[in-house]
Structure 1
Amino acid sequence: MSLLELPDPPDWRRSKGIGWVLVLLSFVVAGVYSVLGAAAALHGSYLTTAVSVGWAAFLLLLALVAGLVMAGRLVPQIDSERTGLTLRPDRVFSVLILAGVVATIPSTLIFVVFAPMGAIDFATTRALRVFWPICAAVLLVIVITGLVRAWRRGGVGHVTLTPAMVENADVMKTMLFEWDDVVEVCGHAESMRAHRPVVLRLRNGDEAVIGNANVFVPGGAALYWMVRHYWRHPEDRGELVDDRALQRLRQGQYDLT
């Protein structure tokens, strides 16, 4: 069985239709912001234009990335090293995500500073002039923090399997879990909503969630079955430090029971 023929886990929710609706909605909202920006430029409201263009660019890039992921058009970056097997998102995915984030930073900063002054055309209510700039400022701090961490780490996230543990890194944090602490691998999280997750249920009752598995491999199922296989078969974990794990991944030779 090849990598792309692996079945989805039975407890994954079928949400591809909703995903495409959200992609379409993002394109529509981006179009609205583009129109607002163009109209503002004609009237000399260049601050509004800057905000609208930045937010439109972010939404367009986000929708493009989501569409590529759901269509399975991204190529995963897989490194087989002496320390373990590491899966990273496609470089195109990382570049588009980071470009979208960078585009929205100056626009959001302009909104935070000038919306309370009434200088942004579409900030016409008290909520948009007071409440939303505060929320945008908090979001801006989070985004910049994540961007700095991604820059230092050299990417937006990765999953690494070693003979001893699983390492799950996203933009904000890196978590390590020993195989011996995992009591179950499943595809449904109790503690949070997650899209196509690989859920490690731990001995202490907690859950470790690797979300959006389809970002790391097309469809995401291969990552689920890989983690589950090496959890159920400790005797095979030695493969993770040589090319055998990569060959097993390419051929989809996992325990699917």
Structure 2
Amino acid sequence: MNTQLPQPYGWNNRYRLFGSMLALAALGGMFFALKTVVAAAHGHWATAGVGAVSTAIFGIPTVWIVLMFTGRGRLRTSVDGTGTTLALAAGIRWLAVWFGAVLVAVVGYLVFGSQMGGEFPDVRARSSAFFAVMVVGAVLGLGAMVRAGRRPRPALRLSAAGVEFHDAVTAFTLPWTDIVNITGTGVEGKSLRPIIFWRRGGEPAVIANASLYAPNGAALFWMTRYYWLVPAARGELGNGVAVQRLRAGQFPAG
């Protein structure tokens, strides 16, 4: 079987997707790195310290994006004899933490950046409304950090009985016999890298982004279709064979 599985029809091009994410993270890191150097050169060590932390905060997702883009992220699975469970990638689980940290870093930068007068805008004097928005955002971000640590990890489970899924916004359980088709497109607003389960006599159930549960999202899509189409092979979901095939991308694209 071909380990270079094709992208399902309708999926966004991952090169464009990850490229834009990488560009944003890298630009943020370079911006704060430059400001750190300028602040240090002028002896403004509080600003330089905040800038250095901000640079690191933007650098962390840059590394994660590269790992996701190259398909080298860690596959988090567990097999219990009846099925295979795939957990949300750790990097995504802590995305809320990163977002909160970015907001806090930006607020800190704006506060201490005012030391440098003309080189950094004095937000307290010139843009108090913007500063207030950033402070509120930082508080909300910190709240998101706490919630992310307490919330059960989103997961996808495939077993001989069917499909179970839950994340922060949706949850569903579908017997294989209730599924009439599995596609990568067809639901408005779900165009990233979804797995869409079309069920008999009901609304489709959607996993918004397969790549959040396996480094090779396309392999996970074709794996799901395979066990839907081939009931006789579903025993592999309980003995670890399905995970081995997922790692190797050994599923037919069809």
TM-score tier, shorter chain, comes to: 0.7 to 0.9
Taking the aligned partners of 1:47 and 1:182, their CA distance within structure 2 comes to 58
Rg (Cα) greater in structure: 2
Corresponding residue of 1:147: 145
Taking the aligned partners of 1:78 and 1:256, their CA distance within structure 2 comes to 22
Q: Check conservation: 1:65, 1:97, Cα contact below 8 A.
A: no
Which amino acid is 2:172 matched to? L
Matched position secondary structure for 1:5: coil
Q: Check conservation: 1:54, 1:107, Cα contact below 8 A.
A: yes
Matched position secondary structure for 2:86: strand
Taking the aligned partners of 1:193 and 1:128, their CA distance within structure 2 comes to 37
Taking the aligned partners of 2:126 and 2:82, their CA distance within structure 1 comes to 52
Which amino acid is 2:171 matched to? M
Corresponding residue of 1:68: 67
Taking the aligned partners of 2:38 and 2:179, their CA distance within structure 1 comes to 56
Q: Check conservation: 1:70, 1:214, Cα contact below 8 A.
A: no
Corresponding residue of 1:30: 29
Q: CA deviation at 1:223?
A: 0.7
Which stretch of structure 1 is more off in the superposition, 26-35 or 93-102?
Answer: 93-102
Mark the runs of 5 or more structure 1 residues left unpaired by the alignment: none
Corresponding residue of 1:231: 228
Identity %: 23
Corresponding residue of 1:19: 18
1:176 aligns with 2:172: yes
1:188 aligns with 2:185: yes
Matched position secondary structure for 2:185: coil
Which amino acid is 2:237 matched to? L
1:110 aligns with 2:108: yes
Residue 51 to residue 250, structure 1, CA distance change in 2 (3 Å): closer
1:6 aligns with 2:17: no
Which amino acid is 1:75 matched to? R
Deviations 1:19-49 (A, max 9, x none): 3254134323311112213323444545544
Q: CA deviation at 1:16?
A: 0.3
* TM-score for both structures, normalised by structure 1: 0.73
Which amino acid is 1:242 matched to? N
* TM-score for both structures, normalised by structure 2: 0.73
Q: Check conservation: 2:158, 2:164, Cα contact below 8 A.
A: yes
Residue 29 to residue 251, structure 1, CA distance change in 2 (3 Å): closer
Matched position secondary structure for 1:204: coil
